[in-house]
Amino acid sequence: MSDAALLPLQAASALIHSRRASSVDLVRACLDRISRLDRELGAFITLTGESALADAKRADTDLANGVDRGPLHGIPIALKDLYDTAGVRTTGGSRIFADRVPDRDSAVVEKLRAAGAVLLGKLNLHEWALGVTNQNPHFGPACNPWDTTRIPGGSSGGSAVAVVSGFCFFSPGSDTGGSIRIPASLCGVAGLKPTYGRVSLRGVIPLAWTLDHSGPLARTVGDLALALNAIAGHDPLDPASVDVPTEDYAAGIEVEDGAKGARVVLPTNVFFDEVDPEVDAAVREAARVLTSLGATVTEMPVPRPDLLAAQRVILLTDAAAYHRDHLRERAADIGADVLTRLRTGQTFTGVDYAQARRDRDELRREWLALLREHDVILSPTTVIAAPARDGQDAVAAAQRLTANTAPFNLTGLPAISIPCGFTQAGLPIGLQLAAGPWRERFLLRVARAYERATPWHERLPQS
């Protein structure tokens, strides 16, 4: 049954609902892999194995009594350690919050519990989510399962490691400059950043209020759709939440011609700057695959790339504002790289911030106009594969890793990363697809069409 932990969420759900396996079986399978592999990989900050087994037993009893909460009923999951969990510590990857135990679940956790999911614990991240290496000085590094000398990406690195390693079946992450899509790309899993405001941020430790997004990482596009069904929706208690109707995101994504008629933009500027040749070849081959599936791919520049620098100003200013008390009272307890970024955020003026917000609005207007004429922007998720964990190399790579993901935080547009190949060194390569606001279902359908036509999502790292 230990192999069951490596199944996609959809297949695991089918096992539970057909009674060929129980939730307890799946929890034990995940815990077995965690006990054998996580000492080397560093995915978990807090493991809640005993409570997970108790919750799994209740899930099995409920199902036997005719209480079925849906596709996630009895499914083992784990959370990026930014999501508040009642009675279980939520650290934000920080020494400052090392003993912080919330008394209330975040909105996403409330939804997942209602859907019957079983919580295995809290996952490693870059401190305060402010970085992409996941080399956490307080809780240890998370390591890439394809090559443990390399980073898994971040800040949701523990989530990507856990999903690809069979520690859980999906994990909610957060994405402010690429923190779902970057680890998805570097670890060879699927990751979705929905439209800004689609998933509640209530009870999620913020990085940048105006750029943060909550979304899932999972093995397949179909798994992402099931996860989004569970967590999406308006939350009147979250100021960032938008009251736009949700859809059944899993409905219709398995159609044979899911990419037919999709109007795809292959940018001739920005997104392929300084791209690694192996990444470039894999992504352009993905564009050819989509063309063979009936999509129309047009090479053209995206408008106003000069405005993209606004993202850095907004992110670091928001982060410095949230952490102003920590910077004043506990600066010595903040890791060196994160402290440097927060101090940089304190140097921007109100004029800088106002101009950045104006630039963002202008960029969004231009890109929305583009996406009225076209459906999808296609690019590499990251222009390089996973760099080495050596401190200076990893930190130096950070700007390159966020170059293609951050624009969709700035504009708030939905974007997905899915595997599209491997380097000669055996490292995953990610394909990014982005669409207009609230078009998550369409985006998932196109991504699933590509996934069905290619084998990359089926590959797993050697344990």
Count of beta carbons in the 10 Å neighbourhood of residue 36: 12
Q: Both tokens of residue 248? A: 């059944």
Preceding amide of 155 cis, omega within 30: yes
What b-and-e string marks burial along 331-350, b requiring 16 or more CB atoms within 10 Å of the CB? eeebbebbbebbeebeebee
Question: pTM here?
Answer: 0.98
3-state secondary structure of 276: coil
Count helices and strands (H / E) in the chain.
15, 13
SS3 for the chain is CHHHHHCCHHHHHHHHHCCCCCHHHHHHHHHHHHHHHHHHHCCEEEECHHHHHHHHHHHHHHHHCCCCCCCCCCCEEEEECCECECCECCCCCCCCCCCCCCCCCCHHHHHHHHCCCEEEEEECCCHHHCCCCCEECCCEECCCCCCCCECCCCCCHHHHHHHHCCCCCEEEEEECCCCCHHHHHHHCCEEEECCCCCECCCCECCCCCCCCEEEEEECCHHHHHHHHHHHECCCCCCCCCCCCCCCCCCCCCCCCCCCCCCEEEEECCCCCCCCCHHHHHHHHHHHHHHHHCCCEEEEECCCCHHHCCHHHHHHHHHHHHHCHHHHHHCHHHCCHHHHHHHHHHHHCCHHHHHHHHHHHHHHHHHHHHHHHHCCEEEEECCCCCCCECCHHHHHHHHHHHHCCCHHHHHCCCCEEEEEEEECCCCCEEEEEEECCCCCHHHHHHHHHHHHHHCCHHHCCCCC
Task: Identify whether the C-beta of residue 262 lies closer than 8 Å to the C-beta of residue 227.
Answer: no
Asked if pLDDT for residue 397 goes beyond 80, the answer is: no
- Band (pLDDT 50/70/90 cuts) for residue 74 is very high
Annotated catalytic residue within 179, 185, 214, 417? 179
- Residue 458 C-beta-side C-alpha neighbours within 13 Å: 5
Kindly report the average pLDDT of the chain as a whole number: 97
State yes or no: pLDDT of 211 exceeds 70.
Answer: yes
Rounded to whole angstroms, the Cα distance separating 338 from 350 reads 22
396 vs 246: which has the higher pLDDT: 246
pLDDT bin (cut points 50, 70, 90) of residue 339 is: very high
Query: In angstroms, rounded to a whole number, what is the distance separating the alpha carbons of residues 403 and 399?
Result: 6
Share of the chain above pLDDT 70, in %: 98
The string of pLDDT tens digits covering residues 98-148 is 999 999 999 999 999 999 999 999 999 999 999 999 999 999 999 999 999
Q: Can you give the pLDDT at residue 2? A: 57
Is the pLDDT at 463 greater than 90, yes or no?
no
DSSP string for 374-407 = -SEEEEESSSS-PPB--HHHHHHHHHHHHTTTHH
Please check whether residue 183 is in contact with residue 173, taking contact to mean a CB–CB distance below 8 angstroms.
yes
Residue 399's pLDDT is what? 77
- Report percent pLDDT > 90 for the chain: 96
Task: For residues 236-262, give the mean pLDDT.
Answer: 96
Are 405 and 382 in contact by the 8 Å Cβ rule? The answer is yes
Nearest to 434 by CA among 415, 407, 411: 415
pLDDT for res 398: 73
Q: Residue 332 to residues 325, 327, 343: CA-CA distances in angstroms? A: 12, 9, 13
Measured from the Cβ of residue 66, the count of other Cβ atoms closer than 10 Å reads: 6
User: What is the per-residue pLDDT for 104?
Assistant: 98
Sequence-ordered list of residues with C-beta below 8 angstroms from that of 324, at least 6 positions apart, any chain: none
Exactly one of 23, 80, 159, 214 is catalytic; name it: 80
**Catalytic one among 22, 106, 155, 156?**
155
Average pLDDT, stretch 143-156?
97
> Which pLDDT band, with edges at 50, 70 and 90, does 394 fall under?
low
Predicted local confidence at residue 391, as pLDDT: 62
The two three-digit tokens of residue 205, written as one number: 């430790």
Q: In terms of DSSP bridges, do strands 190-193 and 415-422 run parallel, antiparallel, or are they unpaired?
A: antiparallel
Is 94 among the catalytic positions?
A: no
> Do 16 and 74 touch, CB atoms closer than 8 A?
yes
Q: Would you call 193 a catalytic residue per the annotation?
A: no
Mean pLDDT over 260-286 rounds to: 97
Range 207-217 average pLDDT: 98
| Alpha carbons 230 and 233: distance in angstroms, whole number | 9
- Is 35 noted as a catalytic residue in this protein? no
